[in-house]
């Protein structure tokens, strides 16, 4: 099911189960998995390895050169898992040699229209990027994170697992896992994303432990080190261990 108006390099790997619409261009070093769908006018260059059952809506640019002045044509890569939905006008770029050489995107992600994933980003699975959300280079996004519309994330920032980043939030520091973080007058974390966690099957006990941990981090008057010691003493669970490890490993500092 390949349109005669598509252009596919003979060296590309495109299984017979794929659908490639009119105006699509697939380069030589591209490998598509089974059941992928490229609706129309999708450009995929490489080296790129795309998993199975990914759906690319019209006018996506996938695996093109990174927007980095240090890039001089090195053989860097884009890797994507399975069952991702990439809506219109998105740009997903390959890595750079200095950044590890690979941009990685997991599985079951929804990347909405006009979003951008820059070079060397590491995006997990079950992530939602709403319209016009933008990841600068080297950004890490954990599983089940949600980025609101028009939310630019600065280079090297980490967004933790199950984090919820509000629309229009300009993010220059790490976003804590499980937290709602949003910009009103300035960026703040507002405690755990209780609604999202409930939807993902978190028990009331797990959520209560996270609520107590965030209360200590955000509202107790303790500094970060003191709050972490209290969390270890009063609310240590596997989830709060993830939270503590994230905060303690932050190079840019976390949004509190």
CATH number, residue 121:
2.160.10.10
- Is residue 201 a part of any domain in this protein? yes
Question: Look-up: residue for tokens 């941990």?
Answer: 213
Q: What is the structure's pLDDT at 235?
A: 87
Last residue of a domain, one of 91, 120, 138: 138
- Is residue 131 a part of any domain in this protein? yes
Q: Are residues 132 and 221 in the same domain?
A: no
254 strand-pairing partners: 174
DSSP 79: E
Q: Are residues 119 and 206 in the same domain?
A: no
Pairing label, strands 179-183, 187-192: antiparallel
Q: Are residues 127 and 205 in the same domain?
A: no
- Is residue 98 a part of any domain in this protein? yes
Last residue of a domain, one of 138, 165, 184: 138
Indicate the pLDDT class of residue 184, thresholds 50, 70 and 90.
low
Residue 221: phi, psi to the nearest 5?
A: 85, -5
d(CA 253, CA 248): 9
DSSP 99: G
Q: Are residues 35 and 124 in the same domain?
A: yes
- 235 touches 213 (CB < 8 A): yes
Compute the C-alpha angle 36/37/38, nearest 5°: 125
Q: Are residues 125 and 201 in the same domain?
A: no
Task: Give me the CATH number covering residue 203.
Answer: 1.20.1180.10
Q: What is the structure's pLDDT at 187?
A: 67
- 140 touches 159 (CB < 8 A): yes
* Radius of gyration in angstroms for the set of CA atoms belonging to the chain, rounded to a whole number: 20
Mean pLDDT score, 74-100? 97
Q: What is the structure's pLDDT at 249?
A: 96
Q: Are residues 123 and 211 in the same domain?
A: no
Domain span including residue 211: 196-248
**pTM for this one?**
0.94
Q: Are residues 239 and 126 in the same domain?
A: no
Q: Are residues 128 and 230 in the same domain?
A: no
Total structural domains within the chain: 2
Give the pair of three-digit tokens for residue 51.
Answer: 């998993």
Side-by-side strand order, sheet with 61-64? 7-8, 25-26, 43-44, 61-64, 91-93, 116-117, 134-135, 152-153
At 192 the three-state DSSP class reads strand
Last residue of a domain, one of 138, 162, 184: 138
Name the residues annotated as catalytic: 119-120, 137
- Is residue 181 a part of any domain in this protein? no
pLDDT over threshold 90, residue 189: no
Indicate the pLDDT class of residue 185, thresholds 50, 70 and 90.
low
- Is residue 163 a part of any domain in this protein? no
Q: Are residues 203 and 114 in the same domain?
A: no
- Is residue 94 a part of any domain in this protein? yes
pLDDT digits (tens, 9 = 90+) for 119-172: 999 999 999 999 999 999 999 999 999 999 999 999 999 999 999 999 999 999
Q: Are residues 134 and 25 in the same domain?
A: yes
Indicate the pLDDT class of residue 188, thresholds 50, 70 and 90.
confident
Q: Are residues 133 and 202 in the same domain?
A: no
Q: Are residues 132 and 30 in the same domain?
A: yes
pLDDT digits (tens, 9 = 90+) for 10-22: 999 999 999 999 9
- Is residue 200 a part of any domain in this protein? yes
Looking at the chain, the whole-number percentage of residues with pLDDT higher than 70 is 98
Q: What is the structure's pLDDT at 227?
A: 94
- Is residue 148 a part of any domain in this protein? no
Nearest to 81 by CA among 50, 118, 126, 123: 50
Question: Look-up: residue for tokens 């630019």?
Answer: 152
């Amino acid at each position: 099911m390949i349109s005669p108006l598509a252009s596919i390099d003979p060296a590309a790997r495109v299984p017979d189960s794929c659908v490639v619409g009119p105006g699509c261009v697939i380069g030589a070093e591209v490998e598509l998995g089974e059941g992928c769908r490229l609706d129309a006018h999708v450009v995929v260059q490489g080296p790129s390895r795309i998993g199975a059952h990914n759906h690319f809506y019209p006018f996506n640019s996938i695996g093109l050169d990174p927007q980095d002045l240090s890039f001089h044509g090195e053989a860097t890569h884009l890797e994507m898992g399975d069952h991702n939905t990439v809506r219109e006008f998105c740009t997903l770029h390959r890595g750079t040699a200095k950044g590890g050489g690979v941009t990685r995107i997991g599985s079951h992600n929804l990347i909405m229209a006009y979003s951008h994933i820059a070079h060397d980003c590491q995006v997990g699975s079950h992530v939602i990027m709403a319209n016009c959300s933008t990841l600068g280079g080297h950004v890490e996004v954990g599983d089940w994170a949600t980025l609101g519309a028009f939310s630019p994330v600065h280079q090297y920032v980490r967004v933790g697992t199950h984090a919820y980043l509000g629309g229009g939030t300009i993010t220059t520091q790490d976003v804590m896992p499980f937290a709602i973080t949003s910009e009103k007058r300035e960026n703040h974390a507002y405690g755990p994303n209780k609604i999202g966690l409930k939807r993902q099957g978190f028990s009331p006990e797990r959520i209560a432990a996270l609520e107590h941990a965030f209360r200590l981090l955000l509202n107790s008057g303790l500094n970060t080190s003191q709050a972490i010691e209290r969390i270890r003493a009063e609310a240590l669970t596997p989830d709060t261990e993830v939270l503590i490890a994230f905060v303690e490993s932050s190079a840019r500092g976390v949004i509190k």
